[in-house]
Amino acid sequence: MRHLMNPLDFSVEELDRLLDLANDIEKNPEKYAHSCSGKKLATLFYEPSTRTRLSFEAAMLNLGGSVLGFSSADSSSAAKGESVADTIRVISCYADICAMRHPKEGAPLIASMKSRIPVINAGDGGHQHPTQTLTDLLTIRSLKGRLGNFTIGLCGDLKFGRTVHSLIQALIRYPNVSFVLISPEELRIPDNIRDDVLRRNHQQFKEVVRLEDALPELDLLYMTRVQRERFFNEEDYVRMKDFYILDKEKLKLAGPDMMILHPLPRVNEISVEVDDDPRAAYFKQAQYGVYVRMALILTLLGLEGNIC
Ligand code: NCD
């Protein structure tokens, strides 16, 4: 039985196969419409979510399976003091696979150790968000035509943004990726990513504060929101929240093919006037999230070979 905790849980070859499957699902959805019939997905969300939870649910419904779960800690037995380990033992009796989001780093890993069904980490605190990374890789590969040989700017809250941490770890396995880390001083990438991931693997990267300085050289720009819920005080959040606003004027500095990604939700960091720009790919990215989660469910349930 396999779980997904970290984007590195799949080898590059396994990822290629998963992304190929996601592209086939995109082209031939009817082929997969009943492949999970009789199977159940549990979504255990101890933290708010729109895209991740609903895209998991849409993915399982598209595969002909069913879904059950909860969308906040208050509406689960966590409010009565039940541990994640006990909850997953019980859910293992009710469902075939589960996606868990939790504010505590490592909670899905603890669940996976006690689980009888595959557990997918759907975001644990400021740590990892592997299925967003699968979404990002599928979007980049599908729209840019390649993974590797590009310069990517990651902009915003690089300290608490788990999507950024996971994406960097995943991208260093592809050739010739150069990183521009764009953040205010206080929201710089954590030392463990800078030292243990980027430096240790001899990756090309630089850290800058001004988005304007980075824009001309980027092939991809990955914007993120300031993670309000992980700040210790509201004052710091208010000071940081509008540090970056990508608008039409700033976009004039970027190349004609620079792709703009964002895991969403967006707050103010991308002005709505950018949405109609052909370079804006963040709503397409949300659509790719469904295909890749369908591919992931099939793979973890061992059903990917059964489709004809
Ligand atoms: C991200 C998350 O939850 O980390 N959202 C998502 O899953 N698409 C990004 C965010 O909340 O800022």
123 in ligand 1 pocket by Cβ < 6 Å? yes
- Tell me whether residue 28 is in a domain: yes
Shared domain for 168 and 33, answered yes or no, is: no
Q: Are residues 122 and 136 in the same domain?
A: no
Residue 254 lies in a domain: yes
Whether 1 is covered by a domain: the verdict is: no
- Kindly state if the Cβ of 139 falls inside 6 Å of ligand 1: no
Q: Are residues 109 and 254 in the same domain?
A: no
Query: Residue with the nearest Cα to atom 7 of ligand 1?
Result: 52
149 and 279, same domain (yes or no): yes
Neighbours of 186 (CB within 10 A): 11
Determine the pLDDT at residue 274: 98
Q: Is 166 in the pocket of ligand 1 (CB under 6 A)?
A: no
Residue 204 lies in a domain: yes
**100 in the same domain as 164:** no
Same domain, 169 and 258: yes
Give the range of the structural domain holding residue 18, as residue numbers without chain letter.
7-128+289-306
* Residue 124 domain flag: yes
What is the CATH classification number for the domain harbouring 71? 3.40.50.1370
User: Is the pTM value of this prediction over 0.85?
Assistant: yes
d(CA 306, ligand 1 centre) in Å: 32
Ligand 1 centre to CA of 162 (Å) is 8
- Ligand 1 within 6 A of CB of 162: yes
263 CA distance to ligand 1 middle (Å): 6
Please check whether residues 183 and 271 belong to one and the same domain. Answer: yes
Q: Which residues form the catalytic set? A: 51-52, 80, 101, 129
Binned at pLDDT 50, 70 and 90, residue 78 comes out as: confident
Whether residues 93 and 77 share a domain: the answer is yes
Kindly state whether residues 124 and 135 are assigned to the same domain: no
Question: Is residue 214 situated within a structural domain?
Answer: yes
Answer yes or no: is the C-beta of 165 below 6 A from any ligand 1 atom: no
Task: Give percent of the chain with pLDDT exceeding 70.
Answer: 99
Which atom of ligand 1 is closest in space to residue 52's alpha carbon?
A: 7
The domain tally of the chain equals 2
**Based on the domain organization, do 101 and 222 belong to the same domain?**
no
Residue nearest to atom 1 of ligand 1 (CA): 263
Residue 180 lies in a domain: yes
pLDDT given for residue 305 in this prediction: 77
Q: Residue 308: what pLDDT?
A: 61
The reply to whether 202 and 165 lie within a common domain is yes
Residue to probe by mutation, ligand 1, list 43, 47, 50, 52, most atoms within 8 Å of CB = 52
pLDDT tens digits for 32-62? 999 999 999 999 999 989 889 999 999 999 9
Q: What is the pLDDT of residues 103-133, one digit of tens each?
A: 999 999 999 999 999 999 999 999 999 999 9
- Residue to probe by mutation, ligand 1, list 138, 264, 269, 282, most atoms within 8 Å of CB: 264
Indicate whether 295 and 264 sit together in one domain. no
Please indicate, yes or no, if residue 2 is contained in any of the structural domains: no
Average pLDDT, integer, range 211-222: 98
